[in-house]
Amino acid sequence: MPSKKSIELREFSDADLLNELTETQSQFQKLKFDHAIKGLDNPMTIREVRRDIARLQTEVRRREVGTFSEAEVALRDRIRNRRKNNK
């Protein structure tokens, strides 16, 4: 079941999604720097921001895969099957 945040991300436009991703990544870098220098009151915020970045990247990729042609999907499936069989 998708989380509330994932459902909210689906309503964003492509430009808003990419903008939110860059803002969140810069916030993550700042948090890591602040934590290394003076420490954070709640270091779990780093985890939350990292997970937000993953959610944003997942939504970007989901939209990217959604625009693939049938040939691109077939190639992607072939590559995924080959990787799966090599494990």
Q: What is the pLDDT of residues 22-73, one digit of tens each?
A: 999 999 999 999 999 999 899 999 999 999 999 999 999 999 999 989 999 8
Take residue 66 and report the two structure tokens written for it: 């959604």
Range of the domain at 36: 4-86
What's the rounded Cα separation, in Å, for the pair 43 and 4? 23
Query: Range with the lowest mean pLDDT among 4-8, 11-15, 18-22, 60-64?
Result: 4-8
Q: Is the pLDDT of residue 2 over 70?
A: no
Torsion of CA 29, 31, 33, 34, to 10 degrees: 160
pLDDT at 15: 94
Contact status, residue 53 vs residue 27, Cβ threshold 8 Å: no
Q: Is the pLDDT of residue 1 over 70?
A: no
Total domain count for the chain? 1
Q: Indicate which CATH number applies to the domain containing 15.
A: 1.10.287
Take residue 32 and report the two structure tokens written for it: 């890591």
